[in-house]
A and B are shown apart, each in its own frame.
Chain A
Amino acid sequence: MNAVEARLDRLRGSAAPRAHNARTISALASNPGCARRAVMDAAGVDKQRVAAHVGHPAPFGQSQFAITRGNAFEAQVKAGGCAQLLRLLRERLRLPIPEVSYANLDDVAGDTSNKVRHARTRALLARAAASGQDAGTLFDHPLLRLRAGGRAVYLEPDLIAFQLRGRFHVVEIKSFAVIDGQADGGKVAAAVIQSAVYVLALRDLLAELGTGPEAVSDEVVLVCPKDFSNEPTAALLDVRKQLTVLRRQLARLDRIEDLLAQIPQAVTFDLEPDAAGVPRRDRRALELAIGAVPARYTPECLETCEMCRFCREEAAGSTAALGRATRDDLGGIDDIGTVLELARGSVPPADHQAEAAAAIRAAARMRGEILGATG
Chain B
Amino acid sequence: MSVLTALARAQAWQAGRAQPVATVRHVHVAPRPFVFVPLALAGEACAPLAAMAGDDPADPRLLVVAQPRNRTQRFAFAAELGRELLRYIGGFPAGGAGEEGAGAAADRGTAGQGAGEGGEGERAVPPDAPQVWLPNRAGIGFTRLLGRSTRFRRAEGEHAVDPVVPVLGRWLTFLAERSEHPGSCLMLAATEALALHWATGQSPAEDLNLASLIGWIDPPAWTDGREAARAAEDPLAWPPAGPATDPGFDNEVLARLIAACDRAEAGGGEAARAKAALGEALAGQLEPAWRLTWRAIGLLRALPEGGHVAGRWEADRRAFGWHAAHLRDGGPPQPRRDSAVAAARRLDSMERAAASLAVQRALDDPLVMAEHRLAGEALAGRVTAAEPDRVITGPSGRRVLRPLVTVRTHDPVSVEPGTVLAPPGRPNQHARVESVAPLGARGAGMAGASGASGASGASGAGAGAAGETEVVLELSGGMGQRLTPAPGSVPGVGDWVCYATLRDEYQPPAGFPEPEQTPWTHGGPPRPYEPTDEDAREAWS
On chain B, the residues within 8 Å of A329 by CB distance are 1-3, 5-6
Q: Name A355's contact: one of B2, B206, B450 (CB within 8 Å).
A: B450
Minimum CB–CB distance for B312 against chain A, Å: 23
Q: Complex formed: what's the CA distance from A362 to B447 in Å?
A: 13
Q: Name B10's contact: one of A319, A325, A365 (CB within 8 Å).
A: A319
Q: B67-111 CB contact bits vs A (8 Å, 1 = yes)?
A: 000000000000000000000000000000000000000000000
Query: Does the CB pair A63–B205 fall under 8 Å?
Result: no
Q: Complex formed: what's the CA distance from A177 to B148 in Å?
A: 13
A-B contact count (CB 8 A): 175
> Which residues 296-354 in A have Cβ within 8 Å of B in the complex?
299-300, 302-303, 317, 319, 321-323, 325-327, 329-330, 336-337, 339-340, 343, 345, 348, 354
Minimum CB–CB distance for B396 against chain A, Å: 41
On chain A, the residues within 8 Å of B14 by CB distance are 336-337, 340
Q: Complex formed: what's the CA distance from A299 to B206 in Å?
A: 8
Known: A362-B412, A362-B455. A326 touches B9 (CB 8 A): yes
Q: Complex formed: what's the CA distance from A343 to B455 in Å?
A: 12
A358 contacts chain B at the CB level, 8 A cutoff: yes
A152 contacts chain B at the CB level, 8 A cutoff: no
A294 contacts chain B at the CB level, 8 A cutoff: no
Query: Does the CB pair B205–A299 fall under 8 Å?
Result: yes
B332 contacts chain A at the CB level, 8 A cutoff: no
Stretch of B248-256, B301-309, B511-519, B524-532 contacting A (4+ beta carbons < 8 Å): B248-256
Query: Does the CB pair A340–B43 fall under 8 Å?
Result: no
> Which residues 367-414 in B have Cβ within 8 Å of A in the complex?
367, 370, 373-374, 410-412
On chain B, the residues within 8 Å of A366 by CB distance are 4, 370, 373-374, 411
Known: A61-B248, A367-B367, A371-B20. A343 touches B538 (CB 8 A): no
On chain B, the residues within 8 Å of A70 by CB distance are 43
Chain B residue at minimal CB-CB distance from A298: B203
On chain A, the residues within 8 Å of B23 by CB distance are 370-371
Minimum CB–CB distance for A355 against chain B, Å: 5
Chain A residue at minimal CB-CB distance from B368: A370
On chain B, the residues within 8 Å of A177 by CB distance are 45-46
On chain A, the residues within 8 Å of B20 by CB distance are 371
Query: Does the CB pair A230–B203 fall under 8 Å?
Result: no
On chain A, the residues within 8 Å of B43 by CB distance are 63, 65-70, 175
Query: Does the CB pair B148–A180 fall under 8 Å?
Result: yes
Query: Does the CB pair A360–B7 fall under 8 Å?
Result: yes
Chain B residue at minimal CB-CB distance from A70: B43
On chain B, the residues within 8 Å of A62 by CB distance are 247
Stretch of A108-116, A153-161, A221-229, A265-273 contacting B (4+ beta carbons < 8 Å): A221-229
On chain A, the residues within 8 Å of B540 by CB distance are 228-229
B472 contacts chain A at the CB level, 8 A cutoff: no
Known: A181-B337, A336-B13, A336-B14. A300 touches B205 (CB 8 A): yes
Minimum CB–CB distance for A71 against chain B, Å: 10
Known: A354-B456, A363-B370. A228 touches B46 (CB 8 A): yes
On chain A, the residues within 8 Å of B370 by CB distance are 363, 366-367, 370
B115 contacts chain A at the CB level, 8 A cutoff: no
Q: B149-171 CB contact bits vs A (8 Å, 1 = yes)?
A: 10000000000000000000000
B522 contacts chain A at the CB level, 8 A cutoff: no
A2 contacts chain B at the CB level, 8 A cutoff: no
A131 contacts chain B at the CB level, 8 A cutoff: no
Q: Complex formed: what's the CA distance from A355 to B3 in Å?
A: 12
Q: Complex formed: what's the CA distance from A348 to B460 in Å?
A: 12
Query: Does the CB pair A325–B1 fall under 8 Å?
Result: yes
A49 contacts chain B at the CB level, 8 A cutoff: no
Q: Name B411's contact: one of A317, A337, A362 (CB within 8 Å).
A: A362
Listed residue (A231, A300, A375) with the most chain B CB atoms within 10 angstroms of its CB = A375
> Which residues 3-27 in B have Cβ within 8 Å of A in the complex?
3-11, 13-14, 20, 23
On chain A, the residues within 8 Å of B452 by CB distance are 354-355, 358-359
B42 contacts chain A at the CB level, 8 A cutoff: yes
Minimum CB–CB distance for B71 against chain A, Å: 10
> Which residues 170-213 in B have Cβ within 8 Å of A in the complex?
201-206
B339 contacts chain A at the CB level, 8 A cutoff: no
Q: Complex formed: what's the CA distance from A65 to B248 in Å?
A: 11
B235 contacts chain A at the CB level, 8 A cutoff: yes
Minimum CB–CB distance for A57 against chain B, Å: 12
On chain A, the residues within 8 Å of B1 by CB distance are 325-326, 329
On chain B, the residues within 8 Å of A133 by CB distance are none
Query: Does the CB pair B45–A362 fall under 8 Å?
Result: no
Q: Complex formed: what's the CA distance from A66 to B246 in Å?
A: 12
Q: Name B410's contact: one of A66, A336, A337, A365 (CB within 8 Å).
A: A365
A176 contacts chain B at the CB level, 8 A cutoff: yes
Query: Does the CB pair B6–A330 fall under 8 Å?
Result: yes
B44 contacts chain A at the CB level, 8 A cutoff: yes
Chain B residue at minimal CB-CB distance from A73: B43
Minimum CB–CB distance for B63 against chain A, Å: 19
On chain B, the residues within 8 Å of A303 by CB distance are 205
Q: Complex formed: what's the CA distance from A180 to B3 in Å?
A: 40
On chain A, the residues within 8 Å of B411 by CB distance are 362, 366
Minimum CB–CB distance for B68 against chain A, Å: 8
A10 contacts chain B at the CB level, 8 A cutoff: no
Listed residue (B1, B9, B245, B336) with the most chain A CB atoms within 10 angstroms of its CB = B9
On chain B, the residues within 8 Å of A371 by CB distance are 20, 23, 367
On chain A, the residues within 8 Å of B541 by CB distance are 228-230
Query: Does the CB pair B6–A322 fall under 8 Å?
Result: yes
Query: Does the CB pair B539–A230 fall under 8 Å?
Result: yes
Minimum CB–CB distance for A266 against chain B, Å: 32
A361 contacts chain B at the CB level, 8 A cutoff: yes
Known: A179-B145, A362-B410, A370-B366. A317 touches B250 (CB 8 A): no
Minimum CB–CB distance for B191 against chain A, Å: 15
On chain A, the residues within 8 Å of B481 by CB distance are none
Known: A59-B233, A323-B205, A362-B455. A69 touches B337 (CB 8 A): no
Q: Complex formed: what's the CA distance from A336 to B7 in Å?
A: 9
Known: A325-B1, A326-B1. A375 touches B6 (CB 8 A): no
On chain A, the residues within 8 Å of B44 by CB distance are 65, 69
Q: B466-494 CB contact bits vs A (8 Å, 1 = yes)?
A: 00000000000000000000000000000
A364 contacts chain B at the CB level, 8 A cutoff: yes
Minimum CB–CB distance for A48 against chain B, Å: 14
On chain B, the residues within 8 Å of A361 by CB distance are 455, 459
B41 contacts chain A at the CB level, 8 A cutoff: yes
On chain B, the residues within 8 Å of A180 by CB distance are 148, 336-337
On chain B, the residues within 8 Å of A64 by CB distance are 250-251, 255
Q: Complex formed: what's the CA distance from A258 to B168 in Å?
A: 61
Q: Complex formed: what's the CA distance from A175 to B202 in Å?
A: 33
On chain B, the residues within 8 Å of A354 by CB distance are 452, 456
Q: Complex formed: what's the CA distance from A98 to B11 in Å?
A: 68
Minimum CB–CB distance for A316 against chain B, Å: 8
Q: Complex formed: what's the CA distance from A348 to B457 in Å?
A: 9
Minimum CB–CB distance for A252 against chain B, Å: 25
B440 contacts chain A at the CB level, 8 A cutoff: no
Chain B residue at minimal CB-CB distance from A327: B6
Can you offer 9 A-B residue contacts whose CB atoms are under 8 A? A179-B145, A228-B541, A302-B206, A340-B11, A359-B3, A362-B451, A366-B4, A366-B411, A371-B20
Seen from chain A, the residues whose Cβ lies within 8 Å of a Cβ on chain B are 59, 61-70, 175-177, 179-181, 225, 227-231, 299-300, 302-303, 317, 319, 321-323, 325-327, 329-330, 336-337, 339-340, 343, 345, 348, 354-355, 357-367, 370-371, 375
- With contacts A323-B203, A323-B205 known, what are 8 further pairs, Cβ within 8 A? A179-B148, A228-B540, A302-B205, A302-B206, A322-B202, A343-B11, A355-B452, A362-B410
Seen from chain B, the residues whose Cβ lies within 8 Å of a Cβ on chain A are 1-11, 13-14, 20, 23, 41-46, 145, 148-149, 201-206, 233, 235, 245-248, 250-251, 254-255, 336-337, 366-367, 370, 373-374, 410-412, 450-452, 454-456, 459, 538-541
